[in-house]
Every structure is written in C-alpha cells, then in structure tokens.
A = this chain, B = another copy of it.
Amino acid sequence: MTAVGFIGLGIMGSPMAGHLVAAGHHVTGFDVNRASVDRLVAAGGKGASSVAEAVREAAVVITMLPNHPQVEQVVLGEDGVLANAASGTLLIDMSTIRPETSIAVATTGVERGVRVLDAPVSGGEAGAKQASLSIMAGGTEADFAAAKPILEVLGTTIVHVGRHGAGQVVKAANQLVVAGIYALVSEAIVLLDASGVDAKSGLDVLAGGLAANRILDLKRDSMIAREFTPGFRIDLHYKDMGIVLDAARQSDVALPVSGLVAQLVAAARAMGYGSLDHSALLKVSEQLAGRS
C-alpha cells in the first residue's frame, strides 16, 4: 500500500481520493475548503492543514486542481509540492491544464528530484464517482509504470500517450472534438426543426450511418427535449477550449474550426448558460437561427 498525498478534494478529487482510501492506500488530503478535508477523514483518510503536510510523507502525490494558476501556485509555489516533496516522490497532476504548464512543472520537478506525470481525465463527475475515468498520461515509461497501479483504482482506460505534456494535448484534442460535435449536432437539429422535419427521426437516421457518434447516442434525446442538466458544464468546457487554443499557439498551428467553436462555447457562457450541460450549445445555435 502506498502513502498518497492528495491535493484538491473538489467534485472530482473527493470521490477519487475516496476510492484510493477504499483500495487500502494511506491517503493524506488537503483542500482550501476544510469541509472537503473533513469528508475525506470521515471516509477513512487523513487530513492535512497545508500542502506541505499532505506531501511530506507521501510516495505519490496527486493534484486535481481547477486550472493552471492553481497548479502553478500549489506545485511550483513557495511552500508548494516541489518545495516539500521528498526526492524520488512521484507527482501525478490530474488537473486539465495547458500543456505548457505541465511541461514547466515536469522540468522543475526533474530539477528537484521529483518524478512528474500529467494525467488529465475524461468522464466527468460520474466517471470519478464510478472509478471509470479515462486517463491519458504524459511522462516517462518508467514513471507511468509506477503510477499505473494507483491510476487503475481511478479509471478503466489508462493510456500512456507520450512525453511530458502529451496527456494534456490528448485531452485538448478530445475536448475540441467533443465541443465541435455538439455544435454540429446542434446545427443539424436546428436545420431539421426549421425545415419541419421531426428531429428525432432525423437524428435516428444519422446515428445509423457515417455521422454516428457517442454524443448522438447519449444526448440526442435530452437535446431534443431541451434538457440541459449537467453533466459537464459549459463553464468547464469554456475553460478547456481556452486550453485547446493555448495548446495550438504553443505548437504553432492554426485550428480554424476549433477557433470558431471556442467562440460559440464562449457565447453560451456569455448568454448565461455557463452552469448548464455542454449540450446547451444548442441554445446558441437556436438563437442564431432565430428559434428561441
């Protein structure tokens, strides 16, 4: 059993830390929100009152944080993970952040004798609760092998996709395809509706051919019903589209469709739909079509 320091016990981190406790690991958790720490203690973990305390005795440190500024502060900051972790510690950053920051964390980690993986996840809150996350990891083969037993407690698909930052790039690619398909399905629904064609019949046909995709499978009924309970919130996908564009800048490529879709996700948020499911991109398409 491993001594795990777990930092970031939010909607995702809390059930993840719980699974590690249940699997017999010695988990010491920290969060700026004390109630989250208490919940971990109630579940059989140990509470820490600082990053330093959570990290000091750990063989593995997991961070699950909102975005790159938090990672920069918690990991690279003055009293952060790298300043307090013992040499040889394995840091698995499971936050979804821009690849650039993951690479910077890994570089600094190596300088201080800390091994680093970026390992963002997909599958959302449900995947975290059911320990069915997809995990895409970037870093060395050896560090991935070392992390694997821990990651297998949290997810079902665990893939080593390349060197430092690669996990984030794959996550970004995933998020651009997901947002884009939502936009396309939304335009399809708008076109069907406006043409007086039953959207359900139409999408059923699409789902049976080359246009088939998981979003059609899982979400077409709720989209047709205009039911947008999250799921994965527009606000989070908005953040992720920012990462997509950052990653594109970092690698010096142009992504015109992603650039447009990012603005439509921004529109959904600006229109006040930030806390709805990302399928609410349909509301933007409808508004542009004068159908709302």
Contact = CB atoms under 8 A, between A and B. Distances in A.
Contacts of A180: 180-181, 183-184, 257
Interface size class of A (residues with CB under 8 A): 35 or more
Interface stretch (A11-19, A32-40, A50-58, A201-209): A201-209
Q: Is the interface of A mostly helix, strand, loop or mixed?
A: helix
A170 interface: yes
Interface string A40-78: 000000000000000000000000000000000000000
A248 B185 CA distance: 14
A184 B176 contact: yes
Number of copies: 4
Contact of A195 (B99, B183, B213): B99
Interface in A173-199: 173-174, 176-178, 180-181, 183-185, 187-188, 190-192, 194-198
A170 B272 CA distance: 25
Interface centre among A138, A266, A285, by most B CB within 10 Å?
A: A266
A201 B202 CA distance: 33
Contact of A260 (B160, B163, B177, B260): B260
A162 B256 CA distance: 33
A113 B264 CA distance: 42
Contacts of A190: 253, 255
A287 B287 contact: yes
B173 A177 contact: no
A259 B255 CA distance: 10
Contacts of A201: 159-162, 170
Interface of A: 99, 122-123, 134, 136, 138, 157, 159-163, 165-166, 169-170, 172-174, 176-178, 180-181, 183-185, 187-188, 190-192, 194-198, 201-206, 208-215, 218, 242, 244-245, 247-264, 266-267, 269-272, 284-285, 287-291
Given A210-B215, A257-B260, A259-B262, 20 more contacts: A136-B205, A138-B197, A161-B202, A169-B202, A177-B184, A177-B185, A177-B206, A183-B257, A187-B255, A191-B244, A194-B252, A210-B218, A252-B266, A253-B291, A255-B263, A259-B263, A260-B260, A267-B288, A270-B289, A288-B288
